[in-house]
Amino acid sequence: MAEKLIQWNCNGLVLHYCELKLLISKHKPMCICLQETHLRHDRPYSLRGYNVIRKEVLSGERAHGGVAIILRDDVQFEALPINTDLQVVAVKIKAPLTLIVRVHEILNARQVSLWPQVLPLVREIPPWERPAINLNTQIKDLVTREAHPSVIHANFRSMLQPYPNTTTIFTDGSKTDSGVGCAFVVNGSAHSWSLPKISSSYTAEQYAIWQALHYCCMTTTMQNFVIISDSLSAMTGLLARRSKDPLALMSIALLKTLQDLGKSIKFIWIPSHSGIPGNDLADTAAKLAASSETLDVQFIKTCDQKLYLNQMLIDKWQNEWNSTETQLRYLKPKVRPRYTPKNLSRMDRVKVHRLRLGHTFMTHSYLLCGEDPPDCHWCDGVCKIISESKNLVWFCDECAENQVPELLQPSLIAGTSNDISSIKCENMLLKNEVECLQREKELLNKLAKKFLSDALNEKVRNAN
C-alpha cells in the first residue's frame, strides 16, 4: 500500500485543529509537515496516534511562525539535530525496504544483473483470427507403450510419407551447466543461438521454433514445411487460446503471416534422443551453442527471471537455515514445505505437525516437568528427541559421530505405535519417507531387544 505525505501551511494549528483531524481521518497519512503552527514553546502539544516533532519561535510575546512534523506511531524514525536559528526540523524515517529494493540488494551482493525482458513484438491476435495449427502426436502412443526404437523410426517415416514435397525442419533446445542454447536443422545445415544462462529449456525450445518459423517466412522457393520438435509443451503452447507467453504470441503471429502468404506449416512431435538423425544433429548444435562464450540473445522472459530469483532466494534462505542450531532444523532440514495430504481432517493435520515437531508430552515431558533431558545409554552425552511420524528417535551427537544410534525405550515404542495408528501416517508419507521409517522401525526393534537382554542380564547379576 502506498503511503501518503501531506504538506500544509495551517496558519495556526490550534485554530485549525478540526481540519487537521479531518485530514487524518480521510487520508491516514504516514507523515504531515506543517508550517506556521503558531504554538508556544512553553506549552506541550500532543496528537493521539501520532508523534509530534516541532520547533517554535522563542522571541516575542505573541505566538507566531513555527514548524512541525507529525509521524504516525507505527513509523520508526530518528530525529536529526540541526544547529541553526532557522525554523527547521528534520527526521530520518526507517521505512521497511520494498521487495524490489531487497532483491536488487541481493543481486548486487552476488554481482548478478537482470537481463532486459522480452516483450511480444506484435499485437495479440484475436481468437477468431488465429491460424489453425496442425500438430501430429501419433508417436506419443508408441512411447507410452515403450516400443522399440526401430518401431518408432518406422512410424516416423510413415508420418512423413503424406508430405513428399515438403521441407523438414528439426528444432531443439538445450540447457547445460555452461549455458543455454537452441538450434534448428534444415537440409543438413544447422543454425544455432546461445541464450542467457538463466533461461529455461522451455524458452530455448520456443525460441528454436520461432526461428524456424522465421526461416519459413524468408524462404521463397518452398511453400510446404514440417517442423519437427521433441518438446511437446512448446508446441502445445501454441494451441492455448489465452496464452500470455511472449514467444508463443510471436510464433502465432508468424503462423498468421505464413497463412496469409499461402504457406503450409505442420508440426510433428518426436521423442528426444530416439536416434532420429535430424533430431540428433539439432541436439548437438544446441549443446554446442550452449557452451559458446558469446551471447546471441540479449533478452529473457519475465517468468524465467522470476524462477531464477525465487531459486536464488531459496538458496540464500537454505544457507542461513543450515547455519542455525535448533531442534527444528533436525526435523526439517529443507526450507521447502513438506508433503502433507489434503484429504486429512484438521485434527489429523494438527496431530501430524505436532508429531513431526515433537510437541507431545511423550517426547517433551522432561521440559514440561522441569526435569533434565534423558541421558544416552551408550555414552555420557545428552540425547535430543526427534519425532518422525510413527517413530520417536533419541538422537545423540556423540553417538552420531560413531554411527551408533541411540536407544529408544521399549515402552515408548509400543505406546507410540498405538497412539499414532489412528491418524493414517503411512498413507500420507512419501515413498522415501516410508522406506526410512521401515529401516528405523527394524533398527528400533533390534535396539529394544538388546535393551531387554541387557536389563535381564543386569537383574541376573544383581540376584547372584
Q: Are residues 249 and 393 in the same domain?
A: no
Q: Are residues 360 and 299 in the same domain?
A: no
Domain housing 397: 346-402
**pLDDT at site 394:** 45
The answer to whether residue 122 is domain-embedded is no
- The enclosing H or E element of 229 equals strand 224-229
Q: Which residue has the higher pLDDT, 431 or 83?
A: 83
Number of domains in the chain: 3
- List the beta bridge partners of residue 185: 170, 190
Q: What CATH number should be reported for the domain holding residue 214? A: 3.30.420.10
How far is residue 316's CA from residue 308's CA, in Å, rounded to a whole number? Answer: 12
**pLDDT at site 144:** 76
Express each pLDDT in 224-248 by its tens digit.
999 999 999 999 999 888 888 889 9
**pLDDT at site 98:** 66
How far is residue 69's CA from residue 77's CA, in Å, rounded to a whole number? Answer: 11
CB 168 within 8 A of CB 153: no
- Using the predicted structure, report yes or no on whether residue 430 has a pLDDT greater than 50: no
- List the beta bridge partners of residue 68: 34, 54
The answer to whether residue 445 is domain-embedded is no
Domain endpoint, select from 305, 332, 355:
305
Residues 6+ apart with CB under 8 A from 218: none
The answer to whether residue 247 is domain-embedded is yes
- Using the predicted structure, report yes or no on whether residue 376 has a pLDDT greater than 60: no
How far is residue 199's CA from residue 299's CA, in Å, rounded to a whole number? Answer: 9
Grid cell listed for 245: 507467453
- For the entire predicted model, the pTM comes to 0.59
How high does pLDDT run on average in the chain?
77
The answer to whether residue 58 is domain-embedded is yes
The answer to whether residue 9 is domain-embedded is yes
Domain endpoint, select from 367, 383, 402:
402
In 3D space, the residue among 68, 80, 69, 6 whose CA is nearest the CA of residue 38 turns out to be: 68
Least confident of 145-159, 253-267, 293-307, 338-352: 338-352
Q: Are residues 142 and 272 in the same domain?
A: yes
How far is residue 50's CA from residue 267's CA, in Å, rounded to a whole number? Answer: 66
In 3D space, the residue among 220, 153, 228 whose CA is nearest the CA of residue 185 turns out to be: 228
**pLDDT at site 422:** 34
The answer to whether residue 44 is domain-embedded is yes
The answer to whether residue 425 is domain-embedded is no
Query: pLDDT over 70 for what percent of the chain?
Result: 70
**Model confidence at 423, in pLDDT bands (50, 70, 90)?**
very low
Q: Are residues 226 and 162 in the same domain?
A: yes
**pLDDT at site 339:** 60
Q: Are residues 266 and 170 in the same domain?
A: yes
CB 247 within 8 A of CB 203: yes
What is the C-alpha end-to-end distance of the chain, expressed in Å?
Answer: 80
Q: What CATH number should be reported for the domain holding residue 40? A: 3.60.10.10
- The enclosing H or E element of 227 equals strand 224-229
Q: Are residues 140 and 78 in the same domain?
A: no
Q: Are residues 285 and 384 in the same domain?
A: no
**pLDDT at site 359:** 63
Express each pLDDT in 36-45 by its tens digit.
998 888 888 8
Domain endpoint, select from 93, 122, 155:
93
Q: Are residues 363 and 275 in the same domain?
A: no
Q: Are residues 50 and 192 in the same domain?
A: no
Least confident of 61-70, 108-117, 198-207, 254-263: 108-117
179-183: average pLDDT: 94
- Using the predicted structure, report yes or no on whether residue 350 has a pLDDT greater than 70: yes
Q: Are residues 272 and 201 in the same domain?
A: yes
How far is residue 73's CA from residue 71's CA, in Å, rounded to a whole number? Answer: 6
In 3D space, the residue among 206, 253, 204, 256 whose CA is nearest the CA of residue 227 turns out to be: 206
Q: Are residues 140 and 239 in the same domain?
A: yes
The answer to whether residue 409 is domain-embedded is no
Q: Are residues 69 and 214 in the same domain?
A: no
